[in-house]
Amino acid sequence: MVPAISKKERLLSEIRKQVEQCIRCQLSQTRTNTVFGEGNADAVVMFIGEAPGEDEDKTGRPFVGRAGKLLTNILHSVSLKREKVFIANTVKCRPPGNRAPKDEEMQCCFPYLEAQIAVINPTLIVTLGGVSTAFLMDEKISISKIRGRMIEWRGGKKIFPMYHPSFLLRYQSQKPGSPRYQTWQDIQEVKKTIDLVLLAGNGNE
Ligand code: URA
């Protein structure tokens, strides 16, 4: 039997079609594929990274390269599957040479992300790394200072910044106080939020 498509999934696929045709900024000229994002349309938590890299540009899927494998393992460490959350980026197209997306590119692309957030309506938005954190908070602040804090965002939602998995790839230590250890603490907070929301019956998983 073909599974029924929910209203949220239908709305997301409409936004996806717009993204696939997008030529709003210069990144559209050099991309192979747009990277819309993927996961559960009813996710309690959305993870928002920086921008697609080479592997993501090739496959059209977010976080599938080395950093993506680490993200998947971080999720698995608290028994979370990628399919249970929603994973996206601040921009849908790969910046050439994997440079950071420019502010104007993130602004240009934001209506798509905003629409995704509006449809999915997550309780928590985990920003991965300084770029997506600064962009969504509209404030430049060091990720090491702000990670692991719940921050009110747009009345009703919360942003929870974490280190970007690419940054973590540079640090192997898992000792208390290390970035990997802090990330392990952070993902446990994320899991607690998901469990609380589901317990309260406000999630649809
Ligand atoms: N880094 C990101 O920020 N996003 C991806 O999708 C992959 C790597």
Mean pLDDT of the chain: 96
Average the pLDDT over 109-129 and give the result: 98
Is 143 a domain residue?
Answer: yes
Is 1 a domain residue?
Answer: no
Is 2 a domain residue?
Answer: no
Whose C-alpha lies nearest to ligand 1, atom 7? Answer: 63
Query: Containing H/E element for 126?
Result: strand 124-127
pLDDT band at 202 (very low <50, low <70, confident <90, very high): confident
Is 3 a domain residue?
Answer: no
Is 205 a domain residue?
Answer: no
> What is the pLDDT, as a whole number, of residue 181?
98
Is 107 a domain residue?
Answer: yes
> How far does the centroid of ligand 1 lie from the alpha carbon of residue 136, in Å?
16
Q: Does residue 153 sit in helix, strand or coil?
A: strand
Is 120 a domain residue?
Answer: yes
The residues near 70 (Cβ < 8 Å, ≥ 6 apart) are: 165, 168, 169
95 in contact with ligand 1, CB cutoff 6 A:
no
163-183 pLDDT, tens per residue? 999 999 999 999 999 999 999
Could you tell me the CATH number of the domain that includes residue 105?
3.40.470.10
> What is the pLDDT, as a whole number, of residue 203?
65
130 in contact with ligand 1, CB cutoff 6 A:
no
> How far does the centroid of ligand 1 lie from the alpha carbon of residue 49, in Å?
5
The residues near 13 (Cβ < 8 Å, ≥ 6 apart) are: 5
Global pTM? Answer: 0.96
pLDDT band at 155 (very low <50, low <70, confident <90, very high): confident
Domain that holds residue 14: 8-196
> What is the pLDDT, as a whole number, of residue 168?
98
Is 18 a domain residue?
Answer: yes
Domain count, the chain: 1
Which of 27, 46, 54, 56 should be mutated for ligand 1, with most atoms under 8 A from CB? 56
The H-assigned helical ranges of 5-151 are: 7-20, 27-30, 54-59, 66-76, 103-120, 130-137, 143-146
37 in contact with ligand 1, CB cutoff 6 A:
no
53-107 pLDDT, tens per residue? 999 999 999 999 999 999 999 999 999 999 999 999 999 999 999 999 999 999 9
